[in-house]
């Protein structure tokens, strides 16, 4: 840098600016619909994601994508599909609570009223799935379902559902001791066992922190508490 030349200042967009941008439909121009999980499509979606979330959320999303790919390779799932689902899981994270609630209405999504009114911070999963289904339908229902379920989970989770749910929690930028321990169990524990352990830690945190737990979360916990893998 030449002497005396000042470095250009980069101003990060405000939460309101990000949310206003993220609320608009996303054009698919430049997206390879023939190869939705290829390298070019992944690069394209990374660029779009960078415009709609803050820097720390973007770093988290990239880490979730990498962790989802690692999980997929360990458990015999398509790593390209898992990587894309992990990248996009927080697609609607920048939206404000009122925008998330409006999306639920606009897309006519089946979400419990107690969650819509009292816990809007978990709505970005189903709203992101709906928005991506509208704008990028070639990703397919399995990806949309995994994104939908990554916040609360669901009874009878499929492999990609579990991969994205687990990756979101144990990706390496999360400074939680139990999640760091579970990250090291990839390929050692079964995917079902790993998912159950992550679910259990999440529920335990909510109880310890005195945070509200939705009826949907309780339903998921009860289902897996009855159907968890048997200890050997």
pLDDT tens per residue across span 174-210: 999 999 999 999 999 999 999 999 999 999 999 999 9
Domain of residue 54, residue span: 33-227
Alpha helices, H only, 107-175:
113-118, 124-135, 141-148, 159-170
pLDDT at position 9 is 59
1 has pLDDT over 70: no
Fill in the DSSP letter of residue 175.
Answer: -
pLDDT at position 232 is 46
> Within a domain: residue 2?
no
> Within a domain: residue 97?
yes
52, with CB counted inside 10 A (0-12, 13-18, 19+), is buried
pTM for the structure as a whole: 0.91
> Within a domain: residue 5?
no
> Within a domain: residue 218?
yes
pLDDT category of residue 128 using cuts at 50, 70 and 90? very high
Four-point Cα dihedral 63, 64, 67, 69, nearest 10: -110
Tokens of 44: 């394209």
* Mean pLDDT estimate for the chain: 92
| Lowest pLDDT segment from 29-38, 61-70, 169-178, 200-209 | 29-38
CA quadruple 45, 48, 49, 50: dihedral sign: positive
In this predicted model, which residue has the larger pLDDT, 21 or 193?
193
Query: Are 122 and 220 within 8 A, CB to CB?
Result: no
pLDDT at position 5 is 56
| Lowest pLDDT segment from 102-106, 201-205, 222-226 | 222-226
Residue 44's domain is classified under what CATH number? Answer: 1.10.3210.10
> Within a domain: residue 26?
no
The count of structural domains within the chain is 1
> Within a domain: residue 118?
yes
> Within a domain: residue 18?
no
> Within a domain: residue 129?
yes
């Amino acid at each position: 840098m030449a002497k005396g030349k000042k470095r250009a200042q980069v101003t990060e967009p405000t939460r309101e600016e990000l949310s206003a941008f993220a609320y608009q439909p996303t054009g698919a121009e430049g997206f390879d619909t023939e190869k939705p999980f290829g390298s070019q499509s992944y690069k394209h979606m990374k660029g779009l994601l960078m415009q709609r979330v803050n820097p720390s959320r973007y770093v988290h999303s990239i880490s979730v994508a990498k962790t989802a790919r690692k999980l997929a390779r360990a458990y015999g799932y398509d790593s390209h599909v898992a990587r894309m689902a992990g990248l996009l899981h927080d697609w609607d994270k920048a939206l404000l609570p009122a925008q998330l609630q409006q999306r639920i209405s606009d897309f006519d999504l089946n979400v419990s009223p107690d969650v819509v009114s009292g816990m809007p911070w978990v709505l970005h999963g189903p709203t992101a799935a709906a928005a991506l289904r509208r704008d990028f339908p070639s990703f397919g229902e399995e990806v949309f379902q995994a994104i939908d379920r990554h916040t609360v989970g669901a009874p009878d989770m499929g492999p990609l559902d579990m991969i994205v749910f687990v990756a979101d929690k144990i990706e390496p930028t999360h400074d939680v001791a139990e999640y760091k321990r579970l990250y090291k169990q990839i390929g050692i524990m079964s995917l079902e066992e790993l998912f159950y352990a992550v679910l259990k830690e999440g529920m335990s945190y909510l109880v310890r922190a005195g945070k509200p737990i939705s009826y949907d979360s309780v339903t998921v916990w009860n289902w897996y508490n009855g159907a968890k893998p048997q200890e050997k």
